Structure 1
Amino acid sequence: MKSKSSSQLSRRAVFAGVGTAGAVAAVSSALPLVKPQAPVAAAPAKPAPERGGGYTLSEHVQRYYKTTRI
């Protein structure tokens, strides 16, 4: 004759197993929907200036100057 606590324990184990299997099935069905992203190509680098320096008034620099105005 089985004791009452051992039958409750086995029911808990069954329900835990069913819950885990359901979660695994849900995750595995969602995985094929995820598409890997293609790597973003880097912009070609500008050639270095012949006489050194290299400062250019780019759009980024102009935006910075606009933010520093009072």
Structure 2
Amino acid sequence: MKSSAFDQAKPLKRRGLLLGAGVAGVAALAVKSLPVAPTEATPAAVKPAADSAGGYQLTQHVLRYYETAKV
């Protein structure tokens, strides 16, 4: 039985697919291992200090919970 050119092309396509997947994996690892420069915190991103008295604080998400929990 003779092997045709079509039969020989299938392994090459599979090898190319595996090679491409390997290269993509190595590239992803390389990007993940790159150092990331720290960013400066903006004043808007800084959270206000908690009340020194502590205890219960009525906030927007607590009020929203009360509204949704009404029977």
* TM-score (normalised: structure 2): 0.43
For the pair shown, which has the larger CA radius of gyration, 1 or 2? Answer: 1
* TM-score (normalised: structure 1): 0.43
